[in-house]
Amino acid sequence: MPVSTHHDGRNMTGRKPARGKASAAPSQAKPRPIGSPADVKRRAGQVVRVLKKEYPEVHCALVHSSPFELLVATILSAQCTDARVNIVTPPLFKKYPDPAAFAAAPLPAIEKAIQSTGFFRNKAKNIKAASTAIVDDYGGEVPKTLDELVGLAGVGRKTANVVLGVAFGQATGVVVDTHVGRLSRRLGLMTNDDAVKVEADLMAIIPKKEWIDFSHRLIAHGRQVCIARKPKCEVCVMNDFCPRIGVTA
């Protein structure tokens, strides 16, 4: 679900302060009360219902035709946009169509093919090692359990949850990327920054049957409306109940 993640810090208007005047610090929007654990769980239910209505048809943004292609694409998506990954993968999968092809490929050749996705040396090493393990230990098939997947090189809970949820329909957890973490904090669903803790918090308040699509919907909303630098609160479908934690006016 992969999928992947992006940064604040510059003047949002893009303009320089007028000469001779002090640059005003960004004002903090007055947050609404987050409430009790029961309030948070109730708000989580609101988020699920509203996003379900707003984004009824959701899917993984990473283009793939097999669980293995999804696995590789998700590894590539770390610190890289899905759009860039989708440019890189068609020729990559044409050249290396299966785990055996990646396992046999020279590491420098894989590095060159994925260079534009960033951190390409580490990604290439992990993809080759994971492919080798899939061939040697799993008969060339992507394993279907969380424990087996996270045992592969370059695969953490996020990647494993993407593959299991999208490719195999298994709700093993909530995919937490930058969008999911940012929106969950803004919505007052939790205060954690650590992705593993964010996932645990979300799993406790989101019904399991919603785990897979919830991430896709939150990611879609984060890309289109609740963007990092200047969220479009005025057109947000959750504006009536969102506490807007950390949003500057």
Per-residue model confidence as pLDDT tens digits over 57-86: 999 999 999 999 999 999 999 999 999 999
Domain extent at residue 207? 37-59+174-235
For the cut 90, the answer to whether the pLDDT of residue 16 exceeds it is no
Instruction: Give, in order, the Cα–Cα distances in Å from 69 to each of 35, 87, 89, 91, 136.
Output: 43, 14, 8, 12, 18
Residue 98 included in any domain = yes
Residue 10 included in any domain = no
Looking at the fold, whether 213 and 179 belong to one and the same domain comes out as yes
Q: Which of 173, 120, 138 is nearest to 67 (CA)?
A: 138
Tell me the one-letter amino acid at 181.
G
> Can you tell me the mean pLDDT for 108-135?
98
Residue 80 included in any domain = yes
Looking at the fold, whether 71 and 163 belong to one and the same domain comes out as yes
- The residues carrying an active-site annotation are 158, 177
pTM of the model: 0.83
Looking at the fold, whether 127 and 143 belong to one and the same domain comes out as yes
Burial degree of 142 (CB within 10 A; 0-12, 13-18, 19+): buried
Looking at the fold, whether 148 and 190 belong to one and the same domain comes out as no
181-197: per-residue pLDDT in tens? 999 999 999 989 999 99
Residue 213 included in any domain = yes
Which residue, of 168, 202, 226, is where some domain finishes?
168
Residue 120 included in any domain = yes
Q: Provide the CATH number for the domain around residue 105.
A: 1.10.340.30
Looking at the fold, whether 164 and 178 belong to one and the same domain comes out as no
Name the domain count of the chain: 2
Residue 1 included in any domain = no
